[in-house]
Amino acid sequence: MTNAKENRTVMQCTLKSAISCTGLGLHSGEKVSMTLHPSAPDTGITFRRTDIAGEGAEIPARFDAVCDTRMCTTVASPKGKTLSTIEHLMAALAGAGVDNAVIEVGGAEVPIMDGSAAPFLFLFDCAGIQEQDAPRRAVRVLKTVTVKDGDKTASLTPSDHFSLDFEIDFASPAVASQALAVGMGEGVFKDEIARARTFGFMHEVEALWAMGLAKGGSLDNAVVVSGDKVLNEDGLRFDDEFVRHKILDAVGDLYLAGRPLLAGYRGVRSGHALNNQLLRELFSDSANFEIVDMTADMLVARPVARDWDGEAVRAAG
């Protein structure tokens, strides 16, 4: 039987106070300042470029504002001004339950920090998070939605909770095949996912440098693999850090729905492009979803069950 505490309505949250940080842009290599501000209920997450003036400076953190998914997720304002590498910050906002914020960025990229979402969670802890006088609303998926690109797939299945199941497969023996399924309840993101860093392969990094990209990339903000070795002196933070980071990316990409999701997400070799296509497919038909008030029982982590083929099925409970 569900008790009153489990059934209480979850309220929207924002930051208690503004907080700032400075870091490098992954691709530009330039120093970028960022300040996160509290925002009113029902305003969602909005980016504001402080290095440009006018209406184009406001960029909504929404799936339909995504304009590029090569190597990172990039959003654009209606005036065409862009902001890239937003996925780790979006993942942190989702994991911390921050619904409303205005994020001022002094450049075209969100700072990469250490390549994970953990530094952003630290900022939120320093600023504090406060409840607001409005119920938190979620997108409940009603029908299974799937998108594919060759051997890559991403899908959302109906559930009363949010869970993620991801599989990766790389030729490098340092990465190889990894799979992980997590029920995204309170505390799970911070403990199990947030510290997983972005990763790349040395030959790809060298190619990016040759194209004038990844100028800010280093062993301080990414896991770099060469052949069968991890080049970072301190090694990995998790034995399966690679698949955990892919889950982190998916959490951030999916928060561009504008609200939390009540669904089981499954990704097989998926990335930013498929994750965005998945949200576009979901919202292309109103029969695929409904908007509901969140209750506390929806935030309890549920184990993700799999059948004998390894296919994720509905979260238990």
Residues with a catalytic annotation lie at: 272
Residue 157 β-bridge partners: 264
**Dihedral of alpha carbons 280, 38, 36, 125, sign:** negative
Give the containing element (helix H, strand E) for 303. Answer: none
DSSP annotation of 270 reads: -
Length of the chain: 317
What's the token pair of residue 23? 């870091």
What radius of gyration do the chain's Cα atoms show? 19
Q: How many CA atoms lie within 13 A of 270 on its CB side?
A: 32
Q: In whole angstroms, give the CA distance from residue 175 to residue 168.
A: 9
* Helices and strands of the chain, counted as H and E runs: 6, 20
Cβ count near 104 (within 10 Å):
18
- H helices of 211-271, in order, are 241-254
Using alpha carbons, list the distances in angstroms from residue 98 to 81, 127, 153, 260: 24, 12, 28, 10
Q: In whole angstroms, give the CA distance from residue 94 to residue 205.
A: 29
What's the token pair of residue 65? 């504002």
Q: In whole angstroms, give the CA distance from residue 43 to residue 39.
A: 7
Q: Which of 161, 104, 194 is nearest to 305 (CA)?
A: 161
